[in-house]
Structure 1
């Protein structure tokens, strides 16, 4: 894995919420751009993900409270770089594309940038998941006025601004709550395209890759939009 030089600070922290992603981690961590530090927020993996991530040079956090938001927020709290990225650990997103979301924040053109997923194959994004994302994105636009088309899991933000949002959701509603809170705080929110591929063979989807995960996500995010 590419690592930043020891004598200069890390430019960008990358939080990988992780639950049993040992199959994906070698590829993911090997794709990090120079100056990007991996923070693997392990949410109770039983496949050796945490040990493997350490061997590959990542900072590993043990997050015993289950939930995507719990893992993502623990990573945010542990970050030290001015710019913090979030990326799924199932191999569906390419860390080499992280500068697409991080650079506008680093250039002070935005406070939060969302990666709009562009599928590279039909099976990358199941129909039920696309439908749920479209419905939630439309509701988000009506509520906030933001011209966003996706609630994508690859994103980047200014660490200080994100920490100041007082985020409370620790489940699947966390990504949506981040955007709603950012809009409410007057932060600059932007969207860029990123590639979205089928997850690593053998990796089990925890969110919208399954119908059950999609339903749980819609319920959690729906609660955020009705607060």
Structure 2
């Protein structure tokens, strides 16, 4: 009698073990699914790898460019900006007079009227057809006068706005290369047409007066 129940019991045990195995497999599969998905998602395509490498190169290049910009800005900050001088051939302008701008004198000027002097000891009269003044940006300058007999007189002069006019100030008598000199003058200039000026000169010691034009010297 016992042999009849052995086979069905064995089959049932085997079936039960199979069910348990299948259930365990299904449970493990369900648990492993997220892990499998993570593994799949972590695998990058060649295109993604290329894009990442390009981004890295661009980031490094951007860092280098920022460093170079910083270096250039530091070099620029160390530079001293120098204002360009005005045109040494420019005429006098109403704006320059209104602003009392001595920089408009920059360059050389001809005092173009014939200027004459008389030697107080000998009475000799000399004509100075060549009279020139040259100034820097601050109105400091030099002047030369050459007489018709070749005598050369040289000295300093300074421009300054006084009152409504421009004064050309001599520090003293103008020395000449023949041992003589031209008495110190008071020179006052006012604007004239075409970028020129008209200057009145007065020698206080001799009461000598003259009027001369003041215009750009040919370049």
Alignment TM-score, normalising by the size of structure 2? 0.23
- Structure with bigger RCO (C-alpha 8 Å, 6+ apart): 1
Say which structure is richer in strand. Answer: 2
